[in-house]
Amino acid sequence: MPPSPTPRPPALCPPVRVLLGPGPSEIHPRVQKAMSAGTVGHLDPYFLEVMNGLRAMLKQVFMTDNEMTFAVSGTGSAGMEAAVVNLIEPNDKMLICVNGVFGGRMADVAGRCGAEVKVIEQPWGEVFSPEQIEKAIRDFSPKVVGVVMAETSTGASQPIEAISEVVHKAGGLLLVDAVTSLGGMPVRVDEWKIDAVYSGSQKCLSCPPGLAPVSFSPTALEVIKSRKTKVQSWYLDVSMLANYWGSERVYHHTAPINMTWGLYEALQVVLEEGLDNVFARHKLNSQALKAGLNSIGISYAAAEGYQLPMLNAVKIPDGVDDAAVRSSLLNEFGIEIGGGLGAFKGKAWRIGLMGHGARRNNVLLFLSALEQLLATQGYEFGRGDSVAAANAVYEGQSSG
């Protein structure tokens, strides 16, 4: 007998969400519109011109003149792999700073490349001092030092410039994870002498996940060109990608055309607003959120003075049911926030105010919803009024 027919799955109808988690962020309407435009070939003259424009805008956002600045076809993790596999050959030494999930992931990738990996660690939520890294370099003499600028798992913001001085004084290369920071705070690639940097389209650039902006310094490119072994990944080999993104336009792979439309428009939106204005907007909304949360007794997980403006990791109050709050936020209010990872699992909420999502209405909506849910769990926050506290920050900005 013929098999019974399988019922067809239901029609696609995604729910409307307010994305205030660690990513993806809310997509800007202009980006959504751009991605619905017609598709052309990946070697079409029009697409090649868009690639040129995309590179030019990425250089502005990365604050660099690096010619090898482009978008890897893949998520931020593909950008991470691209940076590591091109710089690392088997038995090369790589020092990696781990104070959260994504430093650990970088170490995993380096190990898979055959690197001799040395990890130095800080407690989650804390950052590294240049002195710590200088000592580790002295003891290990690495070819590459990897550090996460914006640790998405903890909300910690790692200063880069002083670390760069230490790394280059020792003759090493500096690799920086800017997945969460790019487009939300300054990433000064040239000024800080970053040799390789990667990011993702789905955080502060307010584009869907699928492209990973990267940039390699001239020094990094010389290291890649002088390799004794082939890059371990054919797909992520910068020497071949350079021929596709450069003037020769040698076919390498079929690029994600409509994702490229989206990232192109996302960068247009950022640069039209102006980088300084974008950074100020992220900072203001983070300050308002922090004031609101502090007013009801909720503190931050990352060390004071090193807290990210776009990813706010906060401590879950004692006695509050983590999963119940996040589930109710999603199902009753349509708001997504992130739970804790690793050492922060069940102990922290990760609240993203990224890109288009970094807006006053989102901050006030979240605080109002959170207060209601905390009250139903019997959490007492006294005379605290989180919405009023946040509004005071906004009003102070307006009057200032």
Q: DSSP assignment of 14-55, as one string?
A: PPP-EE-SSSS-PPPHHHHHHHTSPP--TT-HHHHHHHHHHH
pLDDT tens string 208-232: 999 999 999 999 999 999 999 999 9
**Token pair of 385, please?**
């009024």
Where would I find the beta strands (DSSP E) of the chain? 18-19, 68-73, 93-98, 116-121, 144-148, 150-151, 156-157, 173-177, 196-198, 211-216, 311-315, 335-336, 338-339, 348-352
Which residue in 332, 313, 318, 319 sits closest to 370, CA to CA?
332
**Token pair of 115, please?**
């690197």
Distance CA 133, CA 95 (A): 9
Domain ranges of the chain: 29-271, 275-399
Summarize the confidence of residues 59-86 as an average pLDDT: 97
Angle CA(296)–CA(297)–CA(299) in degrees, nearest 5? 125
3-state SS, residue 174: strand
Burial 81-105 (b: 16+ CB within 10 A, else e): bbbbbbbbbeebbbbbbbbbbbbbb
275-399: CATH superfamily: Aspartate Aminotransferase, domain 1 (3.90.1150.10)
Angle CA(90)–CA(133)–CA(60) in degrees, nearest 5? 80
pLDDT of residue 141: 97
Summarize the confidence of residues 40-48 as an average pLDDT: 94
Residues 6+ apart with CB under 8 A from 185: 150, 157, 279, 282, 283, 308, 309, 310
Asked whether the predicted pLDDT for residue 399 surpasses 60, the reply is: no
Query: 3-state SS of 335-347?
Result: EECEECCHHHCCC
Burial 307-334 (b: 16+ CB within 10 A, else e): bbbbbbbbbbbeebebeebbebbbeebe
In which band, very low, low, confident or very high, does the pLDDT at 255 lie, cut at 50, 70 and 90? very high
Asked whether the predicted pLDDT for residue 245 surpasses 90, the reply is: no
pLDDT tens string 55-72: 999 999 999 999 999 999
Summarize the confidence of residues 189-194 as an average pLDDT: 98
Asked whether the predicted pLDDT for residue 4 surpasses 80, the reply is: no
In which band, very low, low, confident or very high, does the pLDDT at 380 lie, cut at 50, 70 and 90? confident
Which residue in 189, 185, 135 sits closest to 164, CA to CA?
189
CA contacts within 13 A on the Cβ side of 235:
9
Q: How far is CA 141 from CA 78, 86, 113, in A?
A: 27, 19, 18
Distance CA 205, CA 268 (A): 10
pLDDT tens string 106-125: 999 999 999 999 999 999 99
Distance CA 104, CA 79 (A): 15
Distance CA 383, CA 400 (A): 27
3-state SS, residue 304: coil
pLDDT of residue 246: 81
Distance CA 157, CA 61 (A): 18
pLDDT tens string 314-328: 999 999 999 999 999
Domain 29-271 in CATH 3.40.640.10: yes
C-beta separation of 164 from 174 below 8 A:
yes
pLDDT of residue 131: 98
In which band, very low, low, confident or very high, does the pLDDT at 391 lie, cut at 50, 70 and 90? very high
pLDDT of residue 242: 87
DSSP letter, residue 334: -
What's the whole-number average pLDDT of the chain?
96
